[in-house]
Amino acid sequence: MSEDKLISSAAAPTRRFVASIRLGTPADADAIAALHAESWRSAYRGLIPDEDLGEALDGERLQFWRTRFAAPEPDRRVVFLEMADSLIVGFACVLADADPDHGPLLDNLHVKPGWRGKGIGARLLNEARLWSAAIAPGEPMHLWVLEGNLAARRFYRGQGGVEEDRLVEHRGGMAIVSLRCKWG
């Protein structure tokens, strides 16, 4: 997939770039982990405990992604990367079997701050939905979104997602409320 786009932001100066999506590999784990931590800090401040967003987050996400790529059955998960030249500006990860009662789980969809609003999330979500339909025909794809992440919820609803189940967890003295969002 390739698409010519004009972009502009503080993190992405005005210039033309070729948007492309490719599959993530174990060699991408460090860069994915860095983007993941950056995105959490940008989107989740005030929604999860501050200690979850501290310095330890970088190492935790690095270990998480190295472990995920090393896990067995790589054909039952996929990581899509949106690239701008050699920079990863977004990623999505789908797990085919994480929650069999609800279909494939879109476990991660993150776009680099400064690159949001440029269609990257929509392209990654589309790839995730296509993969999910191929790996689990007739089953819905779903994800969990923090109830307070209003921008993400608007985005998912705009992409046809329907909010369903509600999950409340308690961590660091906070009630963290998540909503399941499904695509049929």
Q: Specify the CATH number for 2-138; select among 3.40.630.30, 3.40.50.1100, 3.50.7.10, 3.40.50.970.
A: 3.40.630.30
Distance separating alpha carbons of residues 6 and 100, to the nearest angstrom = 40
Give pTM, 2 decimals.
0.89
The domain segmentation of the chain, as residue ranges, is 2-138
Is pLDDT of 5 > 70? no
Distance separating alpha carbons of residues 95 and 72, to the nearest angstrom = 12
Residue 169 buriedness (CB in 10 A; 0-12 / 13-18 / 19+)? exposed
pLDDT tens track for 135-146: 999 999 999 999
Is pLDDT of 23 > 90? yes
DSSP category for residue 97: S
Sheet with 87-95, edge to edge strand ranges: 2-7, 15-23, 77-84, 87-95, 105-111, 141-146, 174-183, 162-171
